Amino acid sequence: WDRGKMGESALEEKQKLLEQANALSETKPEEAEESYSRVLAVTNENPTDETTKLEEQAINGLMKVLVKLRKAEKLEELSRSLRPVFERIPKAKTAKLVRNLIDSVAEIPGTEDLQVSLCKETIEWCRQEKRTFLRQRIESRLAALYLDSKRYTDCMTIINQLLREVKKLDDKAHLLEIQLIESRVYHALRNLPKARAALTSARTTANAIYVPPALQGEIDMQAGIVAAEEKDYKTAYSYFF
C-alpha cells in the first residue's frame, strides 16, 4: 500500500510541476527550466507509463526553454543526465528525444563544435547500449556536420562505413540521406563523376520510397548543382526553376 501511494504521489507531483512549467515557459523561461528539471528529479520506485509520459513531456519542454535561453551547454549536460531516464523509455521514443536534443543545440548559433562533440559522445553511448539504428542516424548527422565544416576526409570515412552497413539493412530512407551527403562531399572535392554517381544512386533509392517534399527539394537542388558544374545549363535550369 505504501509503495502504491508513493507512486501515486510522485505522479501527482510530476503533473503539478509540469503544469507549472508549461504555464511559465513563454513568459518566464528561467523559472520554467527549474520546474521542468524538478519533474525529472522527482524519483519514484515504480515507474509507470503515466510517469514516463510526463517525463517525456518535461524533456521536450525543457529543451525548448533551453533553446530560448541559448543554453547550449545545458542541453549537452541534459543529454548525459537523461540516460537513466532513457532506460525506461521505449527505444523508438528515446531515439526521437536524442535526435531532438541534437536538433535543439543546432538551433543555437555558433554551436557547431558542440554539436560535433555531442554527436561523438552520443555515438559512443549508442555503441555501449547496442542501439545500432540510433547510432547510424547520429553518424549521418555527424557526417553532415563534417561536410559543413569542410572536414571532407572525416566525412567520407563515416559515409563509406554507413553505406556498407545501411545497404544491408534495407533502410532506404536513411540510405537516401547518406547518398545525398556522399554526392555533396564529392562535389566539394571537385570529383564530379563520383558526385554524379552518388546522385544517381540517391535518385534510384528515392524512386523506391515516399520522399518528403523537403528532401525531394534537396535532391533536385543537388541535381541542378551537378548539372551546372557539368555545363548542362538547360537541365540545371529545369531543376532550379
Q: Which amino acid is at 217?
A: G
Euclidean distance between CA atoms 190 and 138, whole angstroms: 26
128 falls within a domain: no
Q: Give residue 229's domain range.
A: 156-240
Establish if 87 belongs to a structural domain.
no
Query: What region, left, alpha or beta, does residue 179 occupy, with left being phi > 0 and alpha being psi -120 to 50 degrees?
Result: alpha
Confidence at residue 8, expressed as pLDDT on a 0 to 100 scale: 55
Residue 127's H or E segment, with its range, is: helix 112-129
Distance, CA of 238 to CA of 153 (rounded, Å): 32
- On the question of pLDDT at 70 being above 80, the answer is yes
173, part of any domain? yes
Q: How far is CA 17 from CA 35, 36, 44, 210, in A?
A: 6, 7, 15, 41
pLDDT tens for 170-200 read: 899 999 999 999 999 999 999 999 999 999 9
Alpha-carbon gap, residue 66 to 106, rounded angstroms: 12
**pLDDT for 137:** 96
∠ CA(113), CA(126), CA(92), 5° rounding?
A: 105
The single residue listed with the C-alpha cell 545549363 is 233
| 44 lies in some domain | no
Average pLDDT over residues 15-36: 93
DSSP assigned state of 71: -
Average pLDDT over residues 124-134: 95
> What is the per-residue pLDDT for 108?
96
* Residue 104 is assigned to a structural domain of this protein: no
CA distance 116 to 111: 9
Dihedrals φ, ψ of 25, to 5°? Answer: -60, -35
- Structural domains in the chain (count): 1
Residue 174 placed within a domain: yes
Residue 71 lies inside a defined structural domain of this protein: no
Length, in residues, of the chain: 241
| CB-based burial label for 12 (10 Å; 0-12, 13-18, 19+) | exposed
**Could you tell me if residue 16 is inside a domain?**
no
**Shortest CA distance to 66 belongs to which of 99, 41, 102, 90?**
102
Residue type, 203: R
The answer, yes or no, to whether residue 35 has pLDDT greater than 60, is yes
The residue to which cell 548527422 is assigned: 141
